[in-house]
């Protein structure tokens, strides 16, 4: 009964996998056996793949925002103890997510946005509250797009969304809060996610 999440993950392999799926399988011949089940599934039509790319632009903004929040809070919020452990671990994960999404988008990846977090990264408690919001937005954002993605891209998104959910629960549990308040996570639409990210501090210009 070894916990499944404890098994090791080849993040490089995973990045390649997402990139291969959305860019049309260039280099699949060199893929490890891990990729092989996807070969038969790579028949999604152009419209679906282009939709995947549009959705990944939204995901890119999400991941950029997360990386920026954790980077800035680790510099400015005087974090310590378990909250600092959380921020460091989450940052490491979000950087890997960001790298995977950037690689998948390739030259189509949108530019890195600016951020104005204001007081949100200036104290431990403000950061903690913002991290809860942002991780919940990430979960709701990924969940909201699940049915719009091609199945191979969905499979990779599913590997990311549960990590965002783990972050959301972890940062709640640190302060003794109810870490999983709902029986089912509600999704958000793309426009709701964009608005919520702007509220957190994302500036696209």
Partner 1 sequence: MDEQRDFARFLHAVDVDGAIAEASHQRRLALSRRGLLAAAAAGAGALVLGRSEARAASGLSANDIGILNYALVLEYLQASFYTEAERSGALSGKTAQAATVVGATERAHVKAFQKLLGSKAVKRPLFDFQGVTEAQQAFLKTAVAFEDLAVAAYKGQAPKLRSSAVLAAAVGIHSVEARHAAWMRELFGVTPAVNAFDKPATKQNINRIVASTHFIVAHPKMKARSKPQYTG
Q: Considering only residues 59, 105, 139, 197, which one is a binding residue for partner 1 as defined by CB under 8 A?
A: 139
Does 140 participate in binding partner 1 (rule CB under 8 A)? yes
Does 69 participate in binding partner 1 (rule CB under 8 A)? no
Q: Are 77 and 86 contacting, i.e. CB atoms less than 8 angstroms apart?
A: no
State the Cα–Cα distance between residues 57 and 55, nearest whole angstrom. 5
Query: Shortest distance, CB of residue 147 to partner 1, whole angstroms?
Result: 4
Q: Are 164 and 138 contacting, i.e. CB atoms less than 8 angstroms apart?
A: yes
Binding segment for partner 1 (CB under 8 A), chosen from 21-29, 43-51, 70-78, 168-176, is: 168-176
Q: Is the dihedral of CA 117, 146, 111, 92 positive or negative?
A: positive
State the Cα–Cα distance between residues 117 and 203, nearest whole angstrom. 10
Interaction pattern, residues 5-44, with partner 1; x per rule: CB under 8 A: xxxxx-x--x------------------------------
Q: Considering only residues 163, 197, 200, 202, which one is a binding residue for partner 1 as defined by CB under 8 A?
A: 163
Smaller CB separation from partner 1, 36 or 114: 36
Report phi then psi at 202, rounded to 5.
-75, 130
Q: Is 30 helix (H, G, I), strand (E, B) or coil?
A: helix
Nearest to 49 by CA among 161, 143, 142, 151: 151
Interaction pattern, residues 176-205, with partner 1; x per rule: CB under 8 A: xxxxxxxxxxxxxx--x---x---------
Quote the tokens at residue 4.
């499944």
* Strand ranges inside the chain, DSSP E: 114-115, 202-203
Q: Considering only residues 112, 114, 151, 203, which one is a binding residue for partner 1 as defined by CB under 8 A?
A: 151
List of residues contacting partner 1 (CB under 8 A): 1-9, 11, 14, 89-90, 92-94, 96-97, 132-133, 136-137, 139-140, 142-144, 146-147, 151-152, 154-156, 158-170, 172-174, 176-189, 192, 196
């Amino acid at each position: 009964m070894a916990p499944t999440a404890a098994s090791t993950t080849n993040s490089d392999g995973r990045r390649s996998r997402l990139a291969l799926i959305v860019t049309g399988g260039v280099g699949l011949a060199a893929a490890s056996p891990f990729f092989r089940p996807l070969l038969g599934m790579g028949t999604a039509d152009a419209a679906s793949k282009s939709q995947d790319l549009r959705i990944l632009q939204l995901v890119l903004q999400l991941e950029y925002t997360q990386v920026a929040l954790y980077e800035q809070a680790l510099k400015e919020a005087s974090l310590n103890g378990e909250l600092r452990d959380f921020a460091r671990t989450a940052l490491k994960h979000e950087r890997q997510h960001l790298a995977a999404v950037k690689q998948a988008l390739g030259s189509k990846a949108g530019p890195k946005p600016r951020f104005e977090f204001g007081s949100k990264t200036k104290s431990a408690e403000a950061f903690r509250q913002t991290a809860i919001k942002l991780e919940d937005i990430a979960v709701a954002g990924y969940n909201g797009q699940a049915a719009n993605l091609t199945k191979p891209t969905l499979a990779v998104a599913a590997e990311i969304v549960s990590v965002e959910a783990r972050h959301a629960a972890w940062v709640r549990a640190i302060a003794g809060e109810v870490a999983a308040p709902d029986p089912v996570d509600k999704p958000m639409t793309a426009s709701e996610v964009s608005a919520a990210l702007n509220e957190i501090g994302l500036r696209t210009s």
